[in-house]
Amino acid sequence: MRECEGIGKNIEQAINNALLELKAAREDVDIKILSEGGFLKKARVLVSISPDAVEKYEKKDLRRAEEKENDEDFAEKFIKQKVSKTEEKAKGEKTEKPEKTEKVEKEEKQEKKTEAKEPKVRIIADEEYVKPEKKTEEVQNKISGEEFLQGVLKALHLEGEITKTEDEKFVRYSLVGENLNDLIGHHGDCMLALSHLMNLVCQNDERKRFVLDVENYRAKREESLVALAKRIANKVAKSGRYYKFEPMDASERKVIHTALQDDDRVTTLSKGEEPRRYLIVFPKEYHDR
């Protein structure tokens, strides 16, 4: 049975701390008070998943494990395909290469010795030129964002126009075409999964984060998220209880953080790890205790 001991200044805070750790709703748990606390003494409770709700949370854990395994398998498949193509190309070039004469081999050896003695910085036309370092094998085996999206469209027999834009932190790809709703999914879950895969398998020399948008969904989603954030803030302020959102992409969490940053009644906090990182809205007085 899944259970967790919660500790807090009072019983309510101890229960909430345990619920956060279990990632469970209050109606799905049994609560046993171990200590009511007091002067210089913390309150302690034991919170456990109710027998009738155990199956529900076991299914959630199984689904999360399957999603993680599918993401890793898909990424591994892309990388292996790229490595295979690179090896085949190198093998073909090697077989087509003509045999070198003894004189040519001596000349090449002499050139390599000369290059080894030369510094990496050369002066060309009174300007400084830095000889670039060779890319690592890991970077060479990765694919571009365009190649990834073209592969997805081809595999699903879809057509779409790919547009790329960049800023200081993100590389944004926009897909526009017919019958692309399946690439968005419920509340954008399929689109967000593709964004996550792009960050795993695509080449990014500047360490920027890839962000995918399909049919301008993110702008529409932003409007609905702002409205949702305000409704949740009113609910949390009235009830005095926190609200936990489903896992969201970093850009969507930022929308809610920004929408509520000037609301004096509530405060927001992100928890968990990508791609299952989620956001919690707390009453201001609860968070400050």
Q: Predicted confidence band at 31 (pLDDT cuts at 50, 70, 90)?
A: confident
Residue 96 confidence (pLDDT) above 70 = no
Residue 122 confidence (pLDDT) above 90 = no
- Average pLDDT, integer, range 255-279: 90
Superfamily of segment(s) 138-215:
K homology (KH) domain (3.30.300.20)
Higher pLDDT residue, 264 or 128? 264
Residues 6+ apart with CB under 8 A from 241: 16, 283
One-letter amino acid for residue 41 of the chain: K
Report residue 122: phi and psi, to 5°: -120, 155
Q: What is the pLDDT of residue 124?
A: 38
> Would the pTM of this model clear 0.85, i.e. be above it?
no
- Rounded Cα–Cα distance for residues 37 and 10 (Å): 7
Q: Which residues of 134-157 are buried (b: 16+ CB within 10 A; e: fewer)?
A: eeeeeeebbbebeebbeebbeeee
Superfamily of segment(s) 217-289:
R3H-like domain (3.30.1370.50)
User: Edge-to-edge strand order for the sheet containing 266-271?
Assistant: 243-244, 278-283, 266-271
- Average pLDDT, integer, range 220-237: 91
Return the domain boundaries, the chain. Answer: 1-57, 138-215, 217-289
Distances (CA, A) of 288 to 23, 50, 61, 268, 278: 21, 30, 32, 12, 20
Q: What is the pLDDT of residue 226?
A: 93
